Amino acid sequence: MNKLDSLSPFELKDVLIKTAGGNVTVSRPENRSMLNAGRGNPNFLSTVPRHGFFQLGLFAMRESERSFAYLPEGVGGFPKRERIEERFESFARENKTTDGIAFLRGAVSYVRDQVGLDASEFLYEMCEGILGCNYPVPDRMLPLSEKIVNHYLRNEMIGNQPFIDKFDLFAVEGGTAAMTYIFNSLRTNYLLKPGDKIALGAPIFTPYLEIPHMSDYRLEVIDINADEDRNWQYPKTELDKLRDPTIKAFFLVNPSNPPSVKLDNESLIYIASIVAERPDLIILTDDVYGTFADDFVSLFAVCPRNTILVYSYSKYFGATGWRLGVIGTHRDNVLDTQIAALDDENRTALRKRYQSIAPDPDSLKFIDRLVADSRSVALNHTAGLSTPQQVQMVLFSLFALIDTSDSYKTALKRLIRHRKRALYRAIGISLDGKEEDDTVVDYYSILDLEEIGERVHGRKFAEWLISHINATDLLLRLAREAHVVLLPGQGFGVQHPSGRVSLANLNEADYKRIGQAVRTLMEEYVEQYNTECPGESLSKGKVSSK
């Protein structure tokens, strides 16, 4: 066992970057001496809504300067609602050939005609928001922004489900903030207590594995293990663990991280049947990669009353630096029901906690408790995601809604799958038709050492490999000898020795180089195997016909 095995994969990443000769603080793809396929920061981004953001900013500045035109240069005021749509149309005509203007005009039209909102009110909220001249009001999310993002999530997360329920949103600083706030408020509101059991759908994003064991929470974790042989779906025998009434909550990432596979319809239906028997079960579904999938359906749609939705804009829109995400809960949800059913002692404690922000603290919804808890309650009046961030979130949402042909999504899928194909061809193994599987998203790929060893050199070599080679040691060798950085699969709860490859943050030629590095390292292990097992000698470069 390597002493580094206990490190979080994101901490081990820094060790691997140093080993590969890179700078931890400047580990960007343009550093060609090192190929960092460890972190999932995409090297693509959505340009149209960004052009729209900057053009909207120019219009908002014109509106601001117009308000205080009598004052010296450099002093502006708030935009004015009256005739703002007319002034926007004039601005758009003046700049009709400028990138972003056609998108903004289409966005205003969509908001008015498809979402049913007042165009002038929308433009005013966007102008005030992009100027950042007022506190976020309401603190949970700007009112029209919430309606538009709600529309976007219905389009992306609900699929063809017969879904009519209303849900509330809390705009947050990306998926990581959402995780932090949710864990904290579940504990603060006595929905999870030290010693309680929660279930985690594994493999899963590492912080979900780590946070429950921290001294703040001290939760008992039950793993719900996906089966690699079933294309990373959860077997019914694993999902049946959720029938245990002592399990308070089930957390999962869907599509999964790192397998990048969405729950199939059979799994969604089976989980819904369990929830019908366990109406008290709390579910948190982190669906950041759902927008990369075709016809994605979230547990938020299938088990609406029980499910908290986490969604981040970081990956799909190439917006990790923007820190944009939302938490969603249905208006009728099990969280509020369970808070109302707490014993007198706990309800009294919560009444005291929230009495400064609500005349009737008992009626405060869980999602509004999330907002208050995010600012230690006392600073609730200044809570909320910055308004320019909310404006960019809205523009990203409208861009996806207007793109009815899914041309952006199709382009990203094609880009990622070409990279995957280059990686596996260079290793020397086929994808066995997995590209046609509509549950596979391919944002990440797991390089399973046992599978690669068996498919390239046979079962006996694979057994020798996993019994003689530590996965962390292999990753260190890749970093040291080939300047390639991958993350350890075990850090995400993958049960086989493996490495996680992000297919989002390098170019196609780079993945070919990574595949060649893996193959070269495997051939060196073949030499070691031949030395130790002379009666089972293998030739380098043998490729299985499987």
Q: For residue 544, what pLDDT is reported? A: 40
Contact criterion met (CB below 8 Å) for 372 and 189: no
Q: State the pLDDT at residue 171.
A: 98
pLDDT(199) > 70 = yes
Quick: pLDDT tens for 37-68: 988 999 999 999 999 999 999 999 999 998 88
pLDDT at 244: 98
Verdict on whether the full-model pTM lies above 0.75: yes
At residue 6, the pLDDT reads: 65
Overall average pLDDT of the 482-511 stretch: 91
- 161-165, 182-186, 225-229, 328-332: least confident range: 161-165
pLDDT at site 435 = 59
| Assigned CATH class of 143-400 | alpha beta
Burial class (CB in 10 A: 0-12, 13-18, 19+), 540: middle
Q: Indicate if the pLDDT at residue 325 is higher than 50.
A: yes
Residue 535 has pLDDT above 90, yes or no: no
Q: Is the domain covering 9-33+408-532 a CATH 3.90.1150.10 domain?
A: yes
* Overall average pLDDT of the 91-116 stretch: 97
Q: Which of 85-99, 301-315, 464-478 has the lowest mean pLDDT?
A: 464-478
**d(C-alpha 387, C-alpha 298), whole Å:** 28
Domain boundaries defined on the chain: 9-33+408-532, 47-134, 143-400
Q: Does position 432 have pLDDT exceeding 80, yes or no? A: no
Mean pLDDT for 361-368 is 97
pLDDT above 80: residue 33: no
User: E strands of 372-453, at which residues?
Assistant: 444-448
Q: Mind spelling out the 3-state secondary structure of 99-155?
A: CCHHHHHHHHHHHHHHHCCCHHHHHHHHHHHHHCCCCCCCCCCCHHHHHHHHHHHHH
More reliable by pLDDT, 107 or 455: 107
Q: Residue 374's pLDDT band (boundaries 50, 70, 90)?
A: very high
Say what the pLDDT of residue 436 is.
Answer: 65
Question: For 492, what's the count of Cα atoms within 13 Å in the CB-facing half-sphere?
Answer: 28
Are 487 and 499 in contact, with CB atoms under 8 Å apart?
yes
Across the chain, what does the average pLDDT equal?
92
How confident is the model over 250-265, as a mean pLDDT? 96
Q: Which residue has the tokens 């070919």?
A: 512
| pLDDT confidence tier of residue 29, bands split at 50, 70 and 90 | very low
| Under 8 Å between Cβ of 270 and 283 | no
- Highest mean pLDDT of the ranges 277-286, 429-438, 518-527: 277-286
Report, as an integer, the average pLDDT of 333-358. Answer: 97
What is the structure's pLDDT at 469?
Answer: 84
Calculated CA dihedral for residues 281, 284, 289, 295, nearest 10 degrees:
40
Residue percentage of the chain with pLDDT more than 70:
94
47-134 to CATH, choices 3.40.190.10, 1.10.3720.10, 1.10.20.110, 1.10.287.3510: 1.10.20.110
Residue 371 has pLDDT above 60, yes or no: yes
385-424 tens-digit pLDDT? 999 999 999 999 999 999 999 999 999 999 999 999 999 9
What contacts 24+ positions apart, CB below 8 Å, involve 225-230?
225/493, 225/495, 226/201, 226/202, 226/256, 226/259, 226/261, 228/259, 228/446, 228/448, 228/496
- pLDDT tens digit sequence for 147-161: 999 999 999 998 777
Q: What residue type is 398 in one-letter code?
A: L
Residue tagged 């979080």 (tokens): 8
pLDDT of residue 433: 59
Confidence at 457, pLDDT banded by 50, 70, 90: confident
C-beta neighbour count of 333 within 10 angstroms: 21
DSSP letters spanning 313-328: STTTTT-TTT--EEEE
pLDDT at residue 543 is higher than 50 = no
**At a CB cut-off of 8 Å and minimum separation 6, what does 338 contact?**
191, 280, 282
| pLDDT tens string 287-303 | 999 999 989 999 999 99
The strand pair at 197-202 and 220-225 is best described as parallel
